[in-house]
A and B are shown apart, each in its own frame.
Chain A
Amino acid sequence: MRVSVTQTGGPLGVPMRFALDSTNLSEQDAADLVQRSGAVAPAPEPKRSYPAEYGYTVRVEPDDGPPVEASYTDGTMPADVRGLVRLVQEHPRQTP
């Protein structure tokens, strides 16, 4: 499974991309990634509440089955998806 996060907005503004591939992770981290990815479900494109609000597009590509992609803003992102995003953004074994 591969999970990618594109973050936009903020003072920098330009998109920042992060990705994590379960094949590069320990068994425990891979299971954690798969479990957290279940929180991502298709949703309507959100609208930023203010110009510098961060936006996130999360794409989950499972080993079997179609990819799932959803977008959020800082204000609309559910807590469980935020946990997934932080995992992807801060994991030392990120893939390009």
Chain B
Amino acid sequence: MPSHCHRGGPAGNGLCCIAPPYLLEQLAESGDENQQKAAERALASLSVVRARRAVTAQLIADPKVDVKALGLVAQGTGSAIKVYDAHGLPFNSFELPGNLLLSTDNPPPGPDTQANQAFDGARATLEFYSEILNRDGIDGKGMDVISSVHVSDQQGNPWENAAWISTQMVYGEGGHIFKSGSLTSALDVIGHELTHGVTQFTAALEYRSQSGALNESMSDVVGSMIKQFVGKETAATADWLIGEGLLLKPGSKALRSMLEPGTAYDGDPQPGKMNDYHELPETEAGDNGGVHINSGIPNRAFALAAIKLGGNSWDEAGRIWYKTLTEKLRPDAQFADAAKATLEVAEELFPGGRASAAVEEAWKEVEVLP
């Protein structure tokens, strides 16, 4: 058995589950008969996996294609959580996820801090969705949550990102924009990214202008609630900051402030009301119409509604926003559509007028409703 077979553990015929392709090629050429057959099967499987991932990535990028219906996205196996070490593979490598470090059957703590944090973040997110919102995983059908840590950019440099890439989570090291190793440490950022997956499987909000800002805001809403849930904070005591302490920039508090948009760091451009809405082009330079900028408006509406309703943010406001996302919004929804839908859902879930009145006040305060 070659010495590096510990990476994947043994599989049939003495081959590793995750064996390097060069090793498989060697065995296919020069191993004994059993090794040759197993290596050929493994190589065929590898090429299928890579081709499938390449095709899936292209199809997921096409909004007209239902990848779930085509069976191209991992289906439910009981919401298992798995964390892999990418060993510096690029974020878009067909070799991802890497080598398995942690799983639901082999949970933290392990020796890799970032892997432990990525696992804990995924677990907290799934628990919140299950216990509070009665949702079975990202796709609602218990799909596994796969994460890869130690992912690099395409040139092998530390990657400054943490992202849901339609099929799994990937985490870079940071070090230039974000504090080194910090991207796995923020529960709200992990919850934010995984909620992009929930949106992908539900409202599929178009990633441009107001629908894109709603997409971003829904991720912040759930990310913030998870942070509050784990930290046992009420809506009144929460700081409503997203990504607190992640930025290296001196004097920055966080990536965003939901309650006080525009105050997270010097130069934070987020508006907190419609009068300050940024009309930006739907280009890369324009942040696709300001999806990360104008999200400050619906973010503030949620924070205000949660505070007005009292208690925990997920008791009423969170359930209203979640049902709105998963059952009411269309892909091209605008802020006013979201406001109207949350009012309807508030009355459906909490009849009597108190909840809908609080929600209406919040949307009025941010000037989405007149």
**A residues engaging B (CB < 8 A)?**
6, 8-16, 45-57, 71-75, 77, 79, 82, 86, 90
Shortest C-beta distance, A64 to chain B (Å), equals 24
| A11 close to B189 (CB less than 8 A) | yes
**B113 contacts the other chain (CB 8 A):** no
| A74 close to B92 (CB less than 8 A) | yes
Contacts A8-B292, A45-B283 given; does A50 touch B196 at CB 8 Å: yes
CB-CB contacts below 8 Å: B269-314 with A: 269-270, 283-285, 287-288, 291-293, 295
Q: Which residues of A contact B295 (CB under 8 A)?
A: 13
Shortest C-beta distance, B59 to chain A (Å), equals 11
Sample of 4 further A-B pairs with CB below 8 A, known A11-B246, A15-B285, A51-B291: A10-B160, A12-B177, A53-B165, A86-B155
**B193 contacts the other chain (CB 8 A):** yes
| B166 close to A10 (CB less than 8 A) | no
Q: In the complex, how many residues of chain B place their beta carbon closer than 8 angstroms to a beta carbon of chain A?
A: 45
Q: Which residues of A contact B176 (CB under 8 A)?
A: 90
Q: Which of B61, B92, B153, B285: most chain A CB closer than 10 A?
A: B285
**B207 contacts the other chain (CB 8 A):** yes
User: Pick the contact of B60 from A8, A11, A46, A49 — CB < 8 Å?
Assistant: A49
| B196 close to A52 (CB less than 8 A) | yes
Docked CA distance A72–B165 (Å): 17
Shortest C-beta distance, A26 to chain B (Å), equals 23
Q: Which residues of B contact A49 (CB under 8 A)?
A: 57, 60-61, 165-166
